[in-house]
Amino acid sequence: MKRKRGGEEEGMDIVWQTPANPPHPHDYVFRNGIRFVRPYYFEFIAHVKNRWAGKTIVDLFAEEFKGRPYDYYVSAVKCGRIQVDGEIVSVSYVVKPSQKISHFLHRHEPPVMACDVVILQKEPDVLTICKPASVPVHPCGQYRKNTVVGILQAEHGLAPLFPIHRLDRLVSGLLILARNAAKADIFRQQIEAGLVHKQYIAKVVGEFPENELIVDANIDYNAREGRSTAEVRDSPKGKAASTKFTRISTNGTQSIVLCEPITGRTHQIRVHLQYSGHPIANDMLYLSEQTVDRSVKGWSADRSARISNVSLTSDLDEVLNACEENSNEDFSIDPMCTNCPNLAPKGYDGDEDALWLHCIRYTGPGWTYECPYPDWAKLV
C-alpha cells in the first residue's frame, strides 16, 4: 500500500505497512549470527483514552510516548505523520475521547539470534517447533516480524498460527501452535481443565537435592519491575503456585533439573528455583549476590547462553557499529527517523537474550509433543 502523507518531502516513495501486511523473507538482514529486520514504514493506531482527552496532540505524544524528543512530534504532526481520525491537524489540536490517532513511522525492530526456527512436527491441525531463545512467540512491544509467528510466515508460508501456550522470549524449546481456531480452542480447554502436563529442564547453581523437591510458594508478579517474588503459601500476596523438581545430573557446581510446573504463573520456574536456593545459573534477574559467585558472575543470561553455537551478544558492539557504517546497503535512511542510520533501535543493549531454561515436553489426553535437549544440558 503506497500513500504519501501530507507534507512529506517531494520524491519520497513511502510504502506504509499495517498489521495486515505479512512478513517476507526479504524483510530480514543476517549479520554475524544476528537476525535484523530491515526497517519499514508502519501505521500505529490508538484511540484516545479519557485521561488523554484535553491535551494537545503534541503534548499527548511527548508525555505518553517518551521514546522520541518533543521536536520530533512537532515535525511529525506538521508533516502528517501523526493524524487524528485520518486527518492532518495543527500542533495545537486538542484531542477528544475515543478519537482514532495514527502514527506513521519508520519502525526498527530489536535484533534476535539468527537461529533457525526448527519445525519438529507438521500435522494438518498442529505445528510444533523448537523455539530459539531471544525470539518472542508473537507480535508484542517492539517486535512484529522478529517473532516466531512472523518468521514462520515469512520463511515457510505458515499462517494463520495460534500459539497454545506461552514461552517467554528468553526461554527456548518446544512450542505448540494450532493451525486453526477450532484446534486452538480444544487445546485451551484441556489446559484450563488441568489435563496438560508440562516439562522443562534448567541448569541451576549448585548441587541440587537428589530427592524430588516440590515447591509450594505463592508467586507475586510486579509488572512495574518486570519480576516476580515467592511468598509463603498462606501469604495474602500473590497467587498459589506449585512446581515439582527432579535432579537429572550434577557435577557438584551446577545441576540439570527437570522442572514440572503444576500451575502457570509468570516466571514461576525461575522464581521457585531461586526460592529453593538453586536459581538458574545464568539468570541475572533472579541470581542473588550469594549465588552469583557460584554461577557465571560477570555474564548475563544472554552473554553466556549459546543456541546452535551462536551467541547474540558476542561482539555485539562491533556488529552494531558495522551495521551503522553499512546500513545504506540494506535500507533507505529516513530523514525524520530517530533510529536511522542504525538497523537496531536506539536503547537496545543486547543484554537479555537467552536463558538456561528449555521446554522439552507437553503431554495431554492422547498426545505428546517433545523437543530435543539443548547443548548446554550436558555438564562437564
pLDDT tens track for 215-251? 999 999 998 888 899 988 777 888 999 999 999 999 9
Instruction: Say which CATH number the domain at 224 has.
Output: 3.30.2350.10
Phi/psi for 149 (5° steps) reads -60, -40
Claim to verify: residue 237 and residue 89 sit in the same structural domain: no
For residue 46, the cross-strand partners are 101
Claim to verify: residue 158 and residue 48 sit in the same structural domain: no
Over the stretch 260-308, which tens digit does the pLDDT of each residue have? 999 999 999 999 999 999 999 999 899 975 555 554 443 444 343 333 3
Rg (CA), the chain: 23
Among 227, 204, 221, which Cα is nearest to 276's? 204
Could you say which of 107, 132, 147 is where a domain stops? Answer: 107
Q: What is the pLDDT of residue 21?
A: 79
Residues 6+ apart with CB under 8 A from 225: none
Q: What is the mean pLDDT of residues 74-103?
A: 96
Claim to verify: residue 204 and residue 178 sit in the same structural domain: no
Residue with cell 533510529: 339
Claim to verify: residue 221 and residue 363 sit in the same structural domain: yes
CA torsion 109-113-119-125 (nearest 10°) is -30
Domain membership of residue 31 (yes or no) is: no
Claim to verify: residue 185 and residue 158 sit in the same structural domain: yes
Q: What is the mean pLDDT of residues 156-179?
A: 96
Among 255, 282, 253, which Cα is nearest to 270's? 282
At 14, the pLDDT band (50, 70, 90 cuts) reads low
User: Helix, strand, or coil here: 177?
Assistant: strand
Q: What is the pLDDT of residue 120?
A: 98
Residues serving a catalytic function are: 168
Instruction: Give the residue numbers spanning the domain of 362.
Output: 200-292+354-377
Structural domains in the chain (count): 3
Claim to verify: residue 92 and residue 124 sit in the same structural domain: no
Cα–Cα distance, 144 to 222 (Å, whole number): 25
Domain membership of residue 64 (yes or no) is: yes
For residue 221, the cross-strand partners are 228
Domain membership of residue 186 (yes or no) is: yes
Which helix (H) or strand (E) is 335 found in, with range? none
Average pLDDT, the chain: 86
Q: What is the pLDDT of residue 224?
A: 84
Helix axes 70-79, 57-64, angle to 10 degrees: 140
Claim to verify: residue 369 and residue 241 sit in the same structural domain: yes
Cα–Cα distance, 21 to 42 (Å, whole number): 10
Q: Does the global pTM surpass 0.85?
A: no
Could you say which of 53, 86, 107 is where a domain stops? Answer: 107
Residue 184 has pLDDT above 60, yes or no: yes
User: Helix, strand, or coil here: 192?
Assistant: helix
Claim to verify: residue 76 and residue 167 sit in the same structural domain: no
